[in-house]
Structure 1
Amino acid sequence: MIPTTMRAAVLAAPGRFELRQVPVPEIADDEVLVRVSRCGLCGTDIHIFKGHYSADRLPLIPGHEFSGHVVRTGAAARDVALGTAVTADINVGCGRCFYCRKNEVLNCPTMAQIGIHVDGALAEYVKVPASHLVAIPRSTPVEMGALVEPVSCIVRAVKKSRLRLGESVLILGGGPIGNLHLQLARAVGAAPVIVSEPNPGRADWARRSGADIVVSDPSQLAATVREATEGRGADLVIESVGLPVLYEQAFELVRPGGRVLAFGLTDADAQARYHPFKVVLGEIGLQGSVAGMGDDMREAMTLIAHDRVRLAEFAETVYPLARIAEAMDAFVNDRRINKIQIDMG
């Protein structure tokens, strides 16, 4: 029996979570109610927690990397079986505009992301449009479904970057997102794959994940990239941290005719300098990418179900919902932690 209220981690103000008993969401005819099993924390949650992003939406229940089971369906969603293990595409647009038709939902004028703009999954239940569900195969543990969303972001980034077999890749940042960039770059046949990461633990993680070269000393990065690419620079440079200084560095380390993939989310007012003269004469491309949506989610689920990405280390650190404040503090401040998931029990 579904209760009328649920436990939820409410971000009441920047830097302050409150565990509250709140109403279970009421669903529309085209929605389903999901009993949350796991919910991951990610860099976007840190931005929200610090008040850098979605501050106008507070109080808010964050949480957009989640998995669980369908426990209630709307009148128009009867084809969804109760008990189905699912995750979901969190990007909800109007479904009719120019951008939605092109699967560029983030640019839809009415777009809202579950857990970022509207209440999400750091709670016992979350409501989701039935059309946005992604089924988790029975052979895949349900907690792995909470990693489909971050993997889908990299799936889309690979498409946007037009990464090809045998191209060299430099990834600036070896955190969770940088690690996924590394894994998918290898999966599509990029070589060599170079990771720049000063944190010793994350540098070792990159090596375990198959990086061809890991650079821990920033002063050695330029020389290492030149040596590995016959002096040209990388075909593709991915900024996965969100620091203006790294964006500037990316343009210095990409080869003429290469591309820079802008992925790391900076503060809203951050600026980075580049040299238009070099970009024009070098025909350097710049491509932004931030979130997976639509088929990106289903393709990410397929990769996970067939063990094309190593995710065990993403699910090692698990906290209960009651310790959300402690979990967020650890995620923000403890650089030894790669990823945190919240277990709903």
Structure 2
Amino acid sequence: MKAAVLVAPRQFELRDVPVPECGTGDVLVKVERCGICGTDLHIYHGNYSLDRLPLIPGHEFSGTIAEMGSSVSGLHIGQAVTADINLGCRSCFYCRKNEILNCTKMVQIGIHVDGGMAEYVRVPAHAVVPLPAAMSLQEGAMVEPLSCIVRAFRKSQLRLAESVLVIGAGPIGQMHLQLALRAGAAPVIVVEPNVQRAQLAKELGADVVISDASQVDAAVRAATDGRGVDVAIESVGSPELYEKAFTLIRPGGRVIAFGLAKPGQTFRISALDFVLREQGLQGSVAGMGDDMREAATLLGYKRIDVAPFLTTIYRIDDVEHAFARLAEDKSVLKIQLQVA
């Protein structure tokens, strides 16, 4: 089969490799679409999973079932699916709590083991997520990234009429914005310097969009009666923006740490202020288990608009150009690879 293999940082090779062997409890998925996300860019630049190279990346994929192991039931050949990429031991303390990322045996498809930037990918049957009948395969490749937003929403414990600040309006920030609106947050404020992304945030319903960094403090205070927001979501991965987020939440407010920083980067906050203001900090990074199925339901019922992220498509043969463009061109929100 054809596969895009990352052999070294910033170096892909398009290779003809063996089709993965489908074990008795596995499903072989014929990949149709595979998205490129921020984590993939971290891998591409050598900031993440460097010890796993050479690797076939790709964890935002969708396709149809081409083969099933002998012990697999409840699925069928030709069925449209995606997958929960987080594979744990399924029996430890963390797996039982659906905190699979903390399982000591955890691996992620496309991050630690070969993923969806290939014509076929092997998935354990228990990790297969069927797609709603009305969902296209290009939308299906958005289930995994949306599941990450679903999990962050849960961890935020967002309540009706709470104010939300989304820092960064890339595709992840735009989905944070939409889910906050659907959950009844008010107002929802977005900070984004890029003109096109800021405009999209307005079109998707943001109550306040701030593009001028010098106006952030005043605009946030004006929108929240001077208090600061209840919840700030950092979706960029900048230590400076993490520190800024704590200055923009109210006493008793909380920061959701979502953006991936580079290894070794840290941010500083005042321990005294953190305690006296009774603020909160919660990390969240990946959707898993029910998060995936709930994301599929939300997309199936069109509760989240992913159409703006489905406009830039590259063939898998052009994977190097696709990664380079996504890294450099801020006018591009999202790139999917057409694999089949």
Q: TM-score, normalised by structure 2?
A: 0.99
Alignment of 1:255-270 (within 5 A): 255-270=250-265
| Whole-angstrom CA distance in 2 between matches of 1:119 and 1:71 | 17
| Whole-angstrom CA distance in 1 between matches of 2:68 and 2:146 | 27
> Is the counterpart of residue 51 in structure 1 residue 60 in structure 2?
no
Q: 1:240 aligns with which of 223, 229, 235?
A: 235
Q: Which amino acid aligns with 2:280?
A: G
Deviations 1:119-157 (A, max 9, x none): 000000000010111111221112111000000000000
Q: What is the CA distance between 1:268 and its match in structure 2? A: 1.4
Which residue number corresponds to residue 211 of structure 1?
Answer: 206
The answer to whether the Cα contact below 8 Å between 2:2 and 2:17 also exists between their aligned partners in 1 is yes
| Whole-angstrom CA distance in 1 between matches of 2:48 and 2:103 | 18
Q: 1:186 aligns with which of 156, 181, 184?
A: 181
Q: What is the CA distance between 1:79 and its match in structure 2? A: 3.2
Q: What is the CA distance between 1:78 and its match in structure 2? A: 3.7
Which residue number corresponds to residue 3 of structure 1?
Answer: none
Alignment of 1:92-107 (within 5 A): 92-107=87-102
Which residue number corresponds to residue 172 of structure 2?
Answer: 177
Alignment of 1:6-25 (within 5 A): 6-25=1-20
SS at match of 2:142: helix
Which residue number corresponds to residue 271 of structure 2?
Answer: 276
Deviations 1:270-298 (A, max 9, x none): 01110011100000000000000000000
| Whole-angstrom CA distance in 1 between matches of 2:281 and 2:265 | 17
Alignment of 1:78-227 (within 5 A): 78-227=73-222
SS at match of 1:301: helix
| Whole-angstrom CA distance in 1 between matches of 2:22 and 2:263 | 33
Residue correspondences, number = 340
Deviations 1:164-205 (A, max 9, x none): 110000111011110010000001000100000000011011
Which residue number corresponds to residue 66 of structure 2?
Answer: 71
> Is the counterpart of residue 309 in structure 1 residue 317 in structure 2?
no
| Whole-angstrom CA distance in 1 between matches of 2:259 and 2:133 | 33
Q: What is the CA distance between 1:330 and its match in structure 2? A: 0.6
| Whole-angstrom CA distance in 2 between matches of 1:234 and 1:95 | 38
SS at match of 2:285: coil
The answer to whether the Cα contact below 8 Å between 2:107 and 2:113 also exists between their aligned partners in 1 is yes
| Whole-angstrom CA distance in 2 between matches of 1:319 and 1:282 | 48
Q: 2:28 aligns with which of 28, 33, 39?
A: 33
Q: TM-score, normalised by structure 1?
A: 0.98
The answer to whether the Cα contact below 8 Å between 2:84 and 2:289 also exists between their aligned partners in 1 is yes
Q: What is the CA distance between 1:28 and its match in structure 2? A: 1.6
Q: What is the CA distance between 1:29 and its match in structure 2? A: 1.1
Q: Which amino acid aligns with 1:85?
A: A
Q: What is the CA distance between 1:9 and its match in structure 2? A: 0.3
SS at match of 1:12: strand
Q: Which amino acid aligns with 1:129?
A: P
Gaps of 5+ in 2: none
| Whole-angstrom CA distance in 2 between matches of 1:127 and 1:101 | 23
Q: Which amino acid aligns with 2:130?
A: A
Q: Which amino acid aligns with 2:196?
A: G
SS at match of 1:194: strand
| Whole-angstrom CA distance in 2 between matches of 1:209 and 1:17 | 35
SS at match of 1:23: coil
| Whole-angstrom CA distance in 2 between matches of 1:282 and 1:270 | 25
The answer to whether the Cα contact below 8 Å between 2:132 and 2:297 also exists between their aligned partners in 1 is no
